[in-house]
Structure 1
Amino acid sequence: MATTTIRVLLVDDESNVLSSLQRLLRNESMQIHTAGSGKDALALMESEEIDILVSDSRMPEMDGSELLTLVQKRWPRCIRILLTGYPEMESLIKSINQGHLYRFIQKPWNDDEVRGVLRQAARLAYAERERSRLTKLIQARNRKLRDLNQQLELSVTKRTNALRKAIQLRDKAYKKLEKSYMNSTEVFAALINQRLPKSRQTNGKVSALVKAYAEESGWDAARINDMTMAAALYNLGKVTWSDEHLMTPSDTFRGRDRDKFRTYPELGESLLMSLEPLQRAAIIIRHHQERWDGRGFPGQLEGRNIPEESRLLKLAVDFIELQRGMILDRLMNRDDALENLGIFADRVYDPDMTARFIALVHDKAPDLEPLPDGVISCRLNQLKAGMLVKSNLLTDSGFLLLNAGSVLTPGMIEKLMVFERTRREHYQVHIDVSSDEHVTPDDEASESAETSGSQDS
């Protein structure tokens, strides 16, 4: 640990002056060194760390201005004070300009003035020493964080087989992001999806919504990247929660559970701030639970003081989580969730942004995530017998209606349309564009079991 004693070097070719200064400073909390010439002073500074240099102006071989200039170049943090009996303007200007003079003291000096100047310089030297110590400490910790991040990426790489499916899904969602951004984002998003149950893995839907809104609003590519990364990682702060908390609607939390819930945006931010490319996304995450009326958390920001990206993330998160039962102790269908956003505009949400967001969701398909090549998304009234279903069709509450690989029949389509009307939901079916439109006899046989099983669910 570095000593707190301030080291002072007095330089004068007159020994009686050095003795006088030593006596003057003997009761100060300083370690005093002396030198009779500029050459001796430089030699001493090679072996001792000097905080304050007090040099006489007129000395043979090397005057005070020359000494201060050399010290400034080699030991710039050393505070430099000039002692002069006959101040010459040219020499003084040289000391100030080249030696970066802190103060000058005129002979004969006033004892109280000298002690005051040295005490003030000592405080400055100590502050500079502490700043240097803290800078080195921060740099060391940052290096440690980078090492830990590299170890984490290596660990995730070793588990590639177990995470392959999750990585492929993330690659699809982030394909337009720059490579340097993708590496860090993939690590954390994989951790989230490994921790959350499938019904709580909302990141993909939220990312698709905010990306569609940002692109339609004309945001630049860098801003869209930050926005989609924040959407992909917004619930990072929940990875330490218990299974019970993960499955509990947020509006039902009370007491300590509610207090813990209100910390997750800040925890998510803190986990990302050490990664420079994700710092803007971290700020968006920190404020995505603020409210337009100032009653949100963690900062109780109000109105346009909330970052615009955070206002958008709040809309998208609530829209998806209302449909997943993650906010209220019941599931909302898509239309009711949109209506809820409109009701709380001007209290919870930015009213102008809410109107544009609702219009966007009404105009776009419910599933805004990009589809693979050769796959189209169809509403039920667009379906035809013989079409091949490419992915499972689920209700808004997560029940299976159709298995991937099913071949549609007229009866299946009709029953799906009835189910959609009675449940007040809107379904999109992913169809193979190259599928055969012929219905085989086996399809009719499988139809009854498929749709009746869905209704039982």
Structure 2
Amino acid sequence: MSEARQTGRYVLLVDDDDNVLSSLRRSLRNEAYELLTANCAGAALQLLERQPVDLVISDAQMPGMDGPTLLAQVQQRWPDTLRLLMTGLADLDTSIRAINQGHIYRYLSKPWNDDELRINLRQALAHQHAEREHRRLERLTREQNLRLQELNANLEQRVRERTAELQQTADMLDLAYAELRHSYVTATEVFSALLNQRLPCDKQSNAQVIGLVRAFSSRLSVPATESHDLAMAAALYNLGKLTWDDHLLNRPSDLLHSEERDRYRQYPALGESLLMALEPLHDAGRLIRHHQERWNGTGFPDQLHREAIPLGARLLKIAVDFVELQCGLLLQRRLTREEALEFLGKNAGRLYDPELCRHFIELCDELAPELADTEPGVVALDTRRLEPGMVLARNLQAESGMLLLNIGKQLTRPLIDKLIAFESSEGARYTLYVRQPATAAGMIEELSR
């Protein structure tokens, strides 16, 4: 294929004189375009119908249809084709008509100079290429602008839809996380019941500690997340004691010998380390580590003092000591409830946060002894007074310490019948702390947060 054909450009020469056509072909034979010829206007129009042409050079004076008329038709039918008029006469009228009707790009004179002819054609084709590229870019710009307008028109809707999708995903994650946290709370209370199996019934302290910190958290309006962490810490605060033998477990801490006391002082840190593999329990583990710190800095394991002790750990220590004083786990002599409260008051500002201790004593004074580990809105009922729809406000444990039902469980008629049958088989009577059906929905919502 010739260089001309590789460029894909065509120039049409129109003249009624074959010698002129031959001379033009010789002058332009080495140019980078294909040359086509026609010896009259009619032949030129027929060729243009079959073959796209970039540029037409027409003689002005031809029999039949002259050059200006031909170029006028070319302009009407193929406006993208450049038009040049070649004339050997100084005919002003012809030139004006060609310019007005044919919108010619340029006119050339006969005889021509070969170099000038080639330069004129190169300039004409370069101009045409620039015009085509300009139109292409304009067309591309319009298309892109239309596309951009469409995108802008849809962008707000897409943003709303995407925002809604993200919000839905976030809500699902929040719900899943809340369910996971609730599952961890339930699991920790199951572990707590297992820990209690190592102790006699009269020294099982976890359930009471859990109830107390729940009531205390409610009174102080502790945020839900911190309240969950505190409840889990209350359930597992003595996890580090699992490795102790039964003799050490049952011995009051004030009667421990030196070696036993050293081991006793290690149990909070050991409890935290046992929970390190469970990320949702990290915060609860930190409270467990520091729940034996003292307000005056003489506690263990890190000798923290005053506000350096986490708030939840300060609260947990008060509840743990209050219960363990009555269980005989701290002093050789078991204290009564009133004596335990008096002990807390005397040691406020030394062992305990004085402000928290004051609130705790006020809470215990307001609640009846048997309800000291519950909270307002809770009623105590035996199994035969239960109704479907009620929700447990605290865990239900068998006399052996085994966890039967966990807090937040909604009662149904079959479940109530099973509890009554279990009582008969065990020869026991159970009191359940429940919320009435009217407040059950609020309880379930609170547990899910």
The bucket for the TM-score relative to the shorter chain is 0.3 to 0.5
With normalisation by structure 2, the TM-score equals 0.44
With normalisation by structure 1, the TM-score equals 0.43
